[in-house]
């Protein structure tokens, strides 16, 4: 579905999570005489949120008896057995707000519809939120079917169709819940625990440092109550690993935790421990030369040479390695969709003893790994990429020494900006010749997925694949602008402002079409079309959904509706959301 963010329907309600602690919520009426269930549900919700429910004008003596029986033991609950008066709105509330009630729920019989009208307009004047059951014309908010994690993790899932089908909303909610990992409660609890530990420990130290006194914020980390307010375009901000400032050093555990929450397999998050975020800030020991773990792994963060070819083992260890029967393969997993995984790659995944995977290998691919197979996910986060690479190489070498079949699972193709060549040379230098299985590279798959013909007669006669981030974070050499070329930039969106500035300085056409293709072939795929000059501005506005590529050239709009991509200052981009996965019976392929 294509949608223009600037022309979204204006009537959609603003969904928020409201706090009700100590608030007075007034329930006028208890529903039809044959059922009090809706009123009970409302009271339960208010009590669970820490509020004080007051019921006035109950519909029948039977309702009064049921409510007393179920809620009479709650000191916060009150029932007033008389007819409602408008003065109740300004006399039953808290002293703090001059006795005005905080929220009103109305559920009166049809015969009292005129009273519903009066209550609604009085609430409007007093700015009291009001919900009238089954009467949206007399409501300023509505309740949403919500699932609350019974294990108390704090997770709540709510779905609304905005009046287009309450039953359908419940069904959609159930479908979402059924697809959550079984350990979702443990996942949320563990992430909350780690967040509190890291924030408290690292930021207490920062508070003592003078330079931090004027800036208490946690930019880009998604910390706080506004879960929609984190600036995702800063999420993958370039951090030069060996040139971090003192503040970046102090905040890196917070940044890494944010990325773990975003990228790691959901069902693995409950197993993450605080030790996984430990760094070398307290260690300045000189690395030993006789140990594989000291030479290579460096999760402790001691400074390591970045070139994998410089990692050395003792001669005795090399001889021992050459005698083992361990095998290794470098396997491309494609852009993300299971349908784009090669049969060879699938065979390797199914027969591995241990899989070493990139952090961006999508969950759908990881779900294919047999439960008995050990899986290790690389901890490649800003400021830790080189160390994490060394840790991964160490894990692979150790497994090969033990005679295991190792699969190095890489996103896309191993040799297209995937360090495949470096890893091949590293393992070869230690006596293991890797088998290399190509994968569909995102650089070319994403153009197809975005309806962009990378080459087309009279439009584009060549394709160039570039990186947006060179060694140690440097900008790559800027290529010349060729009008008939489609250029695909990988690893570029986190520094779009710097890259686009340099492109324009080097003669690139500012009005050439550009497409940002994110999460290609995954269900949450997003394709954003704009012009090159507006790419940084667009990235900042829509945020980031890694991994993503930037495609530049006339081919971007070759198949697009002209009216859709006719941009100007008032309409700078258009978004196309979603990808429909091809249905494949994986198990039948290996029978």
pLDDT of residue 229: 53
pLDDT of residue 127: 97
Indicate whether 128 pLDDT > 90: yes
pLDDT of residue 383: 62
| Alpha-carbon torsion (332, 335, 339, 340), positive or negative | negative
- State the Cα–Cα distance between residues 300 and 562, nearest whole angstrom: 54
Indicate whether 232 pLDDT > 70: no
Burial group, residue 80, by CB count within 10 angstroms (0-12, 13-18, 19+)? middle
Instruction: Sort strands 354-357 and 405-410 into parallel, antiparallel or unpaired.
Output: parallel
Has domain 24-143 been given CATH number 3.40.50.720? yes
Q: Annotate 195-241 with DSSP letters as a single string.
A: HHHHHHHHHHHHHTSGGGTT----TTTT-SS-TT-S-GGGTT----G
Q: Supply angle C-alpha 446, 386, 355, rounded to 5.
A: 65
Band of residue 119 on the pLDDT scale cut at 50, 70, 90: very high
The 3-state DSSP composition of the chain as helix, strand, coil percent (nearest 5) reads: 40, 15, 45
**What is the three-class DSSP state of 146?**
strand
pLDDT of residue 311: 42
Is-contact 298 391, C-beta < 8 A? yes
Share of the chain above pLDDT 70, in %: 79
Share of the chain above pLDDT 90, in %: 52
Domain ranges of the chain: 24-143, 296-441, 443-577
Is-contact 43 120, C-beta < 8 A? no
- State the Cα–Cα distance between residues 295 and 317, nearest whole angstrom: 12
Closest by CA position to 406, among listed 380, 429, 376, 431: 376
Count Cβ atoms below 10 Å from residue 300 Cβ, excluding itself: 17
Band of residue 293 on the pLDDT scale cut at 50, 70, 90: very low
Q: Tell me which of 7 and 407 has the higher pLDDT.
A: 407
**Residue-wise pLDDT tens digits, 178-216:** 889 899 999 999 999 998 888 777 766 665 655 444 555
- State the Cα–Cα distance between residues 143 and 158, nearest whole angstrom: 10
- Contact partners, residue 526, CB within 8 Å, separation at least 6: 516, 517, 518, 519, 542, 545, 575, 576, 577
**Residue-wise pLDDT tens digits, 30-45:** 988 778 889 998 999 9
pLDDT of residue 235: 55
Domain 443-577, what fold? 3.30.950
pLDDT of residue 49: 92
- State the Cα–Cα distance between residues 493 and 514, nearest whole angstrom: 12
pLDDT of residue 179: 87
Band of residue 513 on the pLDDT scale cut at 50, 70, 90: very high
Band of residue 244 on the pLDDT scale cut at 50, 70, 90: low
Indicate whether 287 pLDDT > 70: no
Band of residue 261 on the pLDDT scale cut at 50, 70, 90: confident
Give backbone dihedrals phi and psi of 409, rounded to 5 degrees, phi first. Answer: -90, 115
Strands (E), 460-582: 462-467, 485-490, 513-518, 526-531, 548-552, 574-577
The least confident of 99-108, 380-389, 460-469 is: 380-389
- Does the pTM surpass 0.95? The reply is no
Indicate whether 299 pLDDT > 50: no
Residue 456 gets which letter from DSSP?
B
Burial group, residue 225, by CB count within 10 angstroms (0-12, 13-18, 19+)? exposed
Band of residue 573 on the pLDDT scale cut at 50, 70, 90: very high
Indicate whether 336 pLDDT > 60: yes
Closest by CA position to 485, among listed 446, 456, 450: 456
- State the Cα–Cα distance between residues 380 and 183, nearest whole angstrom: 25
pLDDT of residue 17: 86
Closest by CA position to 570, among listed 12, 5, 9: 5
- State the Cα–Cα distance between residues 432 and 427, nearest whole angstrom: 5
The CATH code of domain 296-441 reads 3.40.1010.10
User: If you average pLDDT over every residue of the chain, what do you get?
Assistant: 82
Is-contact 332 440, C-beta < 8 A? yes
pLDDT of residue 280: 37
pLDDT of residue 506: 96
- The alpha carbon of residue 469 and the mean position of all alpha carbons in its chain are separated, in whole angstroms, by 22
Using omega within 30 degrees of 0 as the cis cutoff, is the peptide bond preceding 547 cis? Answer: yes
* Residue positions annotated with a catalytic role: 358, 380
Is-contact 247 279, C-beta < 8 A? no
Count Cβ atoms below 10 Å from residue 101 Cβ, excluding itself: 24
Indicate whether 323 pLDDT > 50: no
pLDDT of residue 95: 96
Is-contact 531 542, C-beta < 8 A? no
Indicate whether 220 pLDDT > 80: no
**Residue-wise pLDDT tens digits, 456-510:** 999 999 999 999 887 767 788 999 999 999 999 998 988 899 999 999 999 999 9
């Amino acid at each position: 579905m294509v949608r223009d963010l600037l022309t979204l329907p204006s009537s959609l309600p603003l969904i928020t999570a409201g706090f009700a602690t100590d608030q007075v919520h007034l329930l006028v009426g208890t529903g039809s005489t044959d059922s009090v269930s809706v009123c009970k549900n409302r009271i339960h919700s208010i009590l669970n949120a820490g509020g004080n429910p007051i019921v006035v004008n109950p519909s029948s003596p039977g309702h009064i008896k049921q409510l007393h029986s179920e809620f009479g033991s709650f000191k916060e609950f009150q029932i007033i057995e008389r007819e409602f008066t408008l003065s109740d709105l300004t006399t039953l509330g808290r002293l703090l707000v001059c006795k005005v009630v905080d929220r009103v729920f109305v559920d009166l019989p049809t015969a009292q519809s005129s009273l519903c009208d009066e209550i609604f307009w009085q609430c409007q004047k007093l700015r009291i939120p009001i919900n009238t059951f089954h009467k949206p014309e007399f409501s300023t908010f509505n309740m949403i079917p919500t699932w609350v994690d019974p294990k108390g993790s704090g997770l709540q899932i709510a779905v609304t169709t905005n009046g287009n089908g309450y039953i359908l909303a419940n069904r959609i909610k159930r479908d979402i819940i059924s697809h959550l990992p079984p350990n979702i409660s443990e996942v949320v609890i563990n992430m909350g625990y780690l967040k509190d530990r890291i924030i408290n420990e690292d930021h207490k130290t920062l508070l003592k440092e003078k330079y931090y006194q004027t800036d208490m914020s946690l930019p880009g980390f998604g910390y706080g109550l506004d879960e929609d307010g984190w600036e995702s375009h800063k999420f993958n901000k370039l951090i030069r690993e060996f040139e971090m400032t003192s503040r970046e050093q102090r905040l890196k555990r917070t940044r890494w935790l944010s990325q773990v929450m975003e990228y790691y397999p959901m069902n693995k998050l409950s197993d993450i421990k605080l030790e996984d975020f430990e760094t070398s800030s307290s260690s300045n020991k000189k690395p030993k030369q006789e140990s594989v773990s000291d030479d290579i792994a460096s999760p402790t963060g001691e400074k390591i040479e970045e070139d994998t070819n410089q990692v050395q083992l003792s001669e005795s260890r090399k001889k021992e390695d050459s005698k083992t029967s361990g095998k290794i393969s470098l396997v491309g997993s494609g852009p993300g969709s299971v349908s784009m995984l090669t049969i060879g790659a699938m065979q390797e995944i199914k027969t591995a003893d241990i899989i070493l995977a990139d952090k961006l290998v999508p969950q759908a691919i990881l779900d294919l790994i047999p439960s008995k197979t050990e899986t290790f996910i690389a901890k490649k986060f800003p400021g830790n990429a080189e160390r994490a690479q060394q840790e991964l190489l160490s894990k692979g070498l150790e497994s090969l020494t033990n005679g295991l079949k190792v699969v190095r699972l890489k996103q896309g193709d191993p040799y297209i900006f995937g360090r495949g060549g470096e890893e091949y040379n590293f393992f070869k230098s230690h006596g293991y010749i890797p088998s290399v299985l190509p994968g569909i590279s995102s650089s070319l798959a994403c153009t197809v997925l975005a309806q962009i013909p990378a080459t087309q007669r009279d439009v584009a006669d060549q394709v160039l694949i570039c990186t947006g981030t060179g060694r140690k974070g440097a900008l790559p050499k800027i290529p010349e602008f060729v009008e008939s070329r489609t250029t695909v930039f990988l690893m570029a969106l986190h520094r779009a402002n710097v890259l686009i500035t340099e492109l324009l300085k080097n003669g690139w056409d500012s009005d050439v079409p550009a497409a940002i293709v994110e999460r290609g072939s995954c269900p949450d795929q997003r394709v954003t079309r704009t012009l090159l000059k507006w790419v940084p501005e667009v990235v900042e506005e829509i945020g980031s959904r890694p991994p993503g590529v930037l495609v530049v050239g006339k081919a971007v709009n070759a198949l697009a509706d002209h009216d859709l991509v006719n941009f100007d200052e008032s309409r700078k981009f258009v978004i196309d959301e979603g990808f429909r996965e091809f249905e494949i019976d994986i198990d039948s392929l290996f029978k």
